[in-house]
Amino acid sequence: MQNEISINGSYMQNLTARHVLTAEALRLGVETGWYSTKVSGTFVSGPHPSEAACNLKIKEFNPPPEKKKKAS
């Protein structure tokens, strides 16, 4: 899942939920788990216990746009 994140109204990067397994975690010096990452591979948040938890964090960075009401 990819989402654009917005900080102070400017769109920055797409974030992706990525699972880091034990071997890679040891190599990188991080804990095993789900991480939100930029396209470049940079970790933004994590580790999260599940993909769903990671996606919730991504949505916190970029809440869905509010629906505009139609003028009557």
Q: What is the pLDDT of residue 6?
A: 46
**pLDDT by 10s per residue, the chain, length 72:** 444 444 444 455 689 999 999 999 999 999 999 999 999 999 999 999 999 999 999 998 877 667 777 766
Q: What is the pLDDT of residue 2?
A: 47
Query: Under the phi-then-psi rule, with left for phi > 0, alpha for psi from -120 to 50, and beta for the rest, what region is 60?
Result: alpha
